[in-house]
Amino acid sequence: MSGHSKWATIKHKKAALDAKRGKSFTRIIKEITIAARQGGDPDGNPRLRTAILAAKAVSMPADNIKKAVMRGTGELEGGQIEEVMFEGYGPGGAAVLVNVATDNRNRTVSELRHLFSKNGGNMAEQGAVAWMFERKSQIIVPGEKTNEDQLMNIVLDAGGDDLREHRHGPQESH
């Protein structure tokens, strides 16, 4: 039994679901907009292609995706979203890098400063901790598509550090 009004129950459930979807849509739209700055063609921009695939995975309408790409390439007017990196020290002096996509840098700085201080850390100057980090990537290739010698040659030519083979055990699934 749903209580006094079955429609009220449905309305509340739908509102909660819509709010959850809207939050994920907003995050993905920001990513698409930022990625589209390097080019609006998904075939030539892997970051954009990944963002569009993420949007399709959450059933985002194609029109929303198209508008986000157009906003990123400058064809449509909209809030300028920029990517900014902040540095700081966490509890115990742990170095922290924070990558942020924001439309208001001042608000973001104040929120981050508050979060750092609330949790026993503090913000640092530009370059204070970034020297300790090195940007890395991981590329996963199905093993049956190539052999190890070919793959090792490609990895070394591209400046890669390591090549590891990962086999799924009997309890792991693909």
Distances (CA, A) of 77 to 42, 49, 60, 70, 72: 21, 22, 21, 9, 9
User: H helices within the chain, ranges in order?
Assistant: 6-35, 46-57, 62-73, 105-118, 148-157
Query: Domains in the chain and their CATH numbers?
Result: 6-73 (1.10.10.200), 82-132 (3.30.70.980)
- pLDDT for res 172: 47
Residue with more model confidence, 96 or 152: 96
- pLDDT for res 162: 82
CA dist., res. 114 & res. 43, Å (int): 40
- Give the H or E element holding residue 5: none
Is the whole-model pTM more than 0.85? Answer: no
Residue with more model confidence, 110 or 147: 110
